[in-house]
Amino acid sequence: MSADQPITDQGRDGRLIRARLRGAALLVLLMVCTIIGRLYVLQVAEYDKYQTLSLGNHIRLQALPPVRGLILDRYGEVLARNKPVYELQVIPEKTENLEWVLQEVGKIVTLSERELARFRKRLHQRPSFEKHLLKSRLTDQEVARFAVNEYRYPGVSLDAGLQRVYPAGELTGHALGYVGRINEREERRLDPVAYQEVSHIGKLGVEMYYEEELLGRGGFEQVEIDAHGRVVRTISRGAARPGKNLHLTLDRGLQQVAWEALGSRRGAVVALQPDTGEILALVSAPTYDTNLFTDGIDKESYNALRSLAGTPLLNRALYGRYAPGSTIKPVIALAALEAGLDPRQKIYCPGWFMLSGSSRKYRCWKREGHGWMHLHDALEQSCDTYFYNTGAKLGIELMADILNRFGFGRQTGVDLPDEPDGLVPTPAWKQRTRGRSWYPGEDVITAIGQGYLLVTPLQLATATATLANHGRSVRPRLLRGLENPLTGEMEYPAGRVVQSATIKDPAVYQRIIDGMTAVMHGPRGTARASGRHSAYQMAGKTGTAQVIAIPQEQDYDEQGVPEHLRDHALFIAFAPVEQPQIAVAVIIENGGSGARSAAPVARKILDYFFIQRLRRAAIGGITRVFG
């Protein structure tokens, strides 16, 4: 190497350094431009978007559940209301150690094993970001103790709510039904918007049938929250719309009288106004307290209720199906008159009836017989032999036709869920369902309300009203009116005629009603003891329906038969005869004679009804004079 050759090339090194500096400057400039561009996007171009996201960190939109409408009787007495309560709610995903939280909260408020079990069950049924009920109906002391410690338990909140309460309890249980917590199956079919933050839904009765009217419409609330999730202030609010108040046709006082009249016996009472179909009383006994179900009933308690003697969960007034016994005779008599039978023609009753060519005897309830009977006498004294003969002449097809015209064998259309239809048998029905032919003897027993014929107490009361109306049939209903709770405006549904039981000569209705009036007020009427000393005229019909068949050679001994196998007692009536205002049907299971058991129940109901009418009329008169 030459001694004067330079070790470095300063020119080349300078160029390299300058190039690197330019590259670094360019990179820095690019980064600065990127940052400036990103800042522009964040602060200018997408400002609204990111402002909304930022506000979402401390502003929350909360749903406001609607207040469920009240249920009142026809005179304004509250039958279902909402009681303010405090609840402990838990959002599982906001708790770091859920079991520790449950343990610590349990030291402040009482948590039963049932409440903890139900809470843990719900954990597997609903998302962890939703509120889960831990405890409801906290006492004032529990509320105070938890309120001062709430900050220690993130994810646990003390919320104010409303609980459904039924002041009359078991008295109106079967008519009103109850509300209960929404289950998984119901949640899948419900509108998530309408039921947001709504935890209960109508399960049975009026509560279920009029769920949409009672529910109302939810609102919203925009609130500011702090870092712990506590509400600092309310920014805006869209009020929820409460559900409508239901004014029912029920008379709570009459309901009480009917229930007390049944006493400890199993049975049902239905009372309604013939001209409108308004149900005044709907009682099923035994019954149960619907308040047990509003917060959810545990499995053990529910099974215990189901296993009670008398099946209190069964609404006999709506779902009970019974042989109507002799209460069906007025309708069969109409069929006979429709077919041209002479009401003055007499038939001899020796205490039994036999079909031609048969050796079987169909016994009359009066073993020694009634003697010579025409239609009026047969209704007054409830002569089975007369109606055996009539049934044999008419045949099942004619009887089924008139029974169908009176609403038997089909739903009445009452505003209650899942109404059954009863049963009016025919030869075609028997062949289809039993695979057997219809026998002449079945014509005979159908005429006195036995055999396959089945009716519900509600159907029986509706048919009684149709008799009172001379063939005009109205749909029974429990809704009297809907009230807007914000304005107080009332909306009244009109009574609707379902189907008129038209016959060739409407005048024959009076013959039937005269016979039913004699049942109550005639010298030999089967219910004359219940019609005695009445200030008003009533028309009625007693009935006794066999539960077990008695061999021909054996006499029926009520005292020798186990109680659950004794005859059912039935009774129908309406009053006053000239201008009917109330129709009643009473069924007492295994009550024996309808005249002895069921008719006195109806008399108590009718007396109360007319006494109360007079009292209200008197009060109304005083108000008009002095008001």
- Give pLDDT tens digits for 220-243: 777 766 655 566 677 777 788 999
Q: Which of 197, 221, 248 is the last residue of a domain?
A: 248
Among candidate residues 248, 161, 237, 216, the one with its CA nearest the CA of residue 485: 216
Sign of CA pseudo-dihedral 613, 618, 619, 624:
positive
pLDDT < 70 stretches in the chain: 1-9, 42, 48-61, 224-232, 495-499, 548-561, 618-627
Helix (H) or strand (E) segment spanning residue 262: helix 252-262
**179 & 258 share domain:** no
- Tokens coding 33: 């431009």
Give the model's pLDDT for residue 49.
62
Question: Are 362 and 435 part of one and the same domain?
Answer: yes
- CATH number assigned to the domain comprising residue 361: 3.40.710.10
Phi-psi region of 496 (alpha: psi -120 to 50; beta: other; left: phi over 0): beta
In a domain, 292, yes or no: no
Give the residue from 191, 221, 248 where a domain finishes.
Answer: 248
Question: In the structure encoding, which two tokens stand for residue 117, read together?
Answer: 């079990």
* 218 and 263 fall within a common domain: no
CB 133 within 8 A of CB 89: yes
Q: Are residues 164 and 276 in the same domain?
A: no
Summarised one tens digit per residue, pLDDT across range 334-375 is 999 999 999 999 999 999 999 998 889 999 999 999 999 999
CA atoms within 13 A on the CB side of 146: 27
Whether residue 603 is contained in a domain is answered as yes
- 403's tokens: 């029974």
Q: Name the burial class of residue 600, with classes exposed (0-12), middle (13-18) and buried (19+) by CB atoms within 10 angstroms of its CB.
A: middle
By the 8 A CB rule, do 453 and 424 touch? Answer: yes
Name the domain count of the chain: 2
Same domain for 278 and 242? no
- Residue at 10 is within a domain: no
Q: Is residue 221 within 8 Å of residue 197, measured between CB atoms?
A: no
Residue 116 resides in a domain? yes
529 and 391 co-located in one domain: yes
State residue 557's pLDDT score.
58
Residues 244 and 356 in one domain: no
How confident is the model at residue 559, as a pLDDT? 62
223 and 263, same domain (yes or no): no
Q: Which residue has the tokens 């150690």?
A: 97
What pLDDT is stored for residue 623 in this prediction?
A: 43
Residues 173 and 263 occupy one common structural domain: no
**228 falls within a domain:** yes
236 and 328 together in one domain: no
Residue 84 lies in a domain: yes
As a whole number of angstroms, the distance between CA 153 and CA 493 comes to 52
d(CA 326, CA 272): 21
Residues 356 and 470 both lie in one domain = yes
Do 368 and 446 share a domain, yes or no? yes
> Given the DSSP bridges, would you call strands 245-248 and 71-72 parallel, antiparallel or unpaired?
parallel
Question: Is residue 54 one of the residues assigned to a domain?
Answer: no
Residue 503 lies in a domain: yes
**Active-site amino acid positions:** 326
- 186: domain CATH number is 3.90.1310.10
Print the domain residue range for 98: 60-248
